Amino acid sequence: MEVLATVLPIVIDILLIVLLTVFIIVGIKLIGVMNKAQKLINNVEEKVNTFNAFFGFINVINSKFAGISEKVASLVEAIVTKLTRKKKKVKEPEDEYDYEEEDK
């Protein structure tokens, strides 16, 4: 029992030193990975920002086409409405003669 009481703290100390060393190594590797990821993200962000002018140009063209198509659609709608509208028939004036009075 005395041997176990003297050996066990030494084994635990050695395992804690190994565990601490592993955590330090993993932490250093993690910092390296984070730096590489940050560089990659910055690179992608720069490349995406180069397309901002292009996307703005496409947006302007899209809005122009939308305006033109809206005008064309309203013009076509007006033409179809004019063509399909029934013309009012002109009522001919009726005789003032009352047929019912004649039957009496």
Q: Express each pLDDT in 31-88 by its tens digit.
A: 999 999 999 999 999 999 999 989 999 999 999 999 999 999 999 999 988 888 766 6
**Top mean-pLDDT range of 22-26, 48-52, 74-78, 99-103:** 22-26
Whether residue 18 sits in one domain with residue 39: yes
How buried is 9 (Cβ within 10 angstroms: 0-12 exposed, 13-18 middle, 19+ buried)?
A: exposed
Question: Could you give the number of structural domains in the chain?
Answer: 2
103 found inside a domain: no
23 found inside a domain: yes
67 found inside a domain: yes
pLDDT at position 89 is 64
43 found inside a domain: yes
The single residue listed with the structure tokens 């050695």 is 14
**Predicted TM-score (pTM) of this structure:** 0.48
Structural domain that includes position 73: 54-81
87 found inside a domain: no
Q: Tell me which amino acid residue 9 is.
A: P
pLDDT at position 1 is 79
58 found inside a domain: yes
